[in-house]
Amino acid sequence: MTDDQLLDLARTAAAKAYAPYSNFHVGCAIESVDGEVVTGANMENACYRLGVCAEQSALSAAQHKFGLDKVASIAVVGGADATVCTPCGGCRQAILEAAQLSGRNVEILCGSGDGSAVERHTIGELIPFGFGPGNLEPTGGTSAS
């Protein structure tokens, strides 16, 4: 799948966001090493702190469809203007989990809501010196589920 196709899927997913409180719609598409794709969108809650980010929604779908250790690339699109949407800190940590399981420096395409801008980052850039399953050997980093 091309970068543009993955970004388009993230954009389509953003249209399904449930974000009545922030009105900030985020979509995420994740492609596996075998070309399978899952998507997710943010899902807010009247108890604000219970909201779920688009990336974590998509990662949960990835866990079930092909396993976190098969995550190859991720596209995130959010907002409505020209500002690219980069994953929040919590989502970076969740992506780091998949990255360390797979041993891959997962690529993240970050798109703006208006479609005018895209930035490409690796998880290593977004969360340098991160703490992940590799820090918990031998219990961590050995399983995708």
- Shortest CB 139 distance to ligand THU, Å: 28
Per the annotation, the verdict on 31 as an active-site residue is no
- Pick the stretch among 53-61, 67-75, 103-111, 125-133 that binds ligand THU (CB under 6 A): 53-61
Pairing of strands 26-32, 37-41: antiparallel
Q: How far apart are CA 22 and CA 79, in angstroms?
A: 10
- Shortest CB 143 distance to ligand THU, Å: 26
Minimum CB distance to ligand THU smaller for 1 or for 19: 19
* Radius of gyration from C-alpha coordinates of the chain: 14
Pairing of strands 71-78, 107-112: parallel
Pick out residues in 56-115 that bind ligand THU (CB under 6 A). 87-88, 91
Residue 142 interacts with ligand THU (CB under 6 A)?
A: no
- Shortest CB 40 distance to ligand THU, Å: 9
Q: What is the DSSP string of 83-107?
A: SB-PPPHHHHHHHHHHHHHHT---E
- Determine which one of 55, 97, 107, 137 is catalytic: 55
Q: Which residue has the tokens 């492609």?
A: 31
Q: Which residue has the tokens 């998880």?
A: 123
Residues binding ligand THU (CB under 6 A): 19, 22, 24, 26, 42, 44, 51, 53-55, 87-88, 91
